[in-house]
Amino acid sequence: MLLAFALAYLGMLALCLAMSRHHKALLGGEPGSLRQRVLRLAAALCFALALGLCSLSQGGEIGAVLWLCQLMLAALLLVAVLAWRLRWAVPVAAPLLASGMLSWWL
* 11 neighbors 44 (Cβ within 8 angstroms): yes
Is residue 106 pLDDT above 80, yes or no?
Answer: no
Q: Output b/e per residue, 51-64; b: 16+ Cβ within 10 A.
A: bebbbeebeeeebe
Q: Is the pLDDT assigned to residue 64 strictly greater than 80? A: yes
Q: Please give the pLDDT value at position 44.
A: 97
Mean pLDDT, the chain, rounded, equals: 93
Mean pLDDT of 7-26: 93
Whether 25 contacts 93, CB under 8 Å: no
Q: Averaged over 1-29, what is the pLDDT?
A: 92
User: What pTM was computed for the model?
Assistant: 0.92
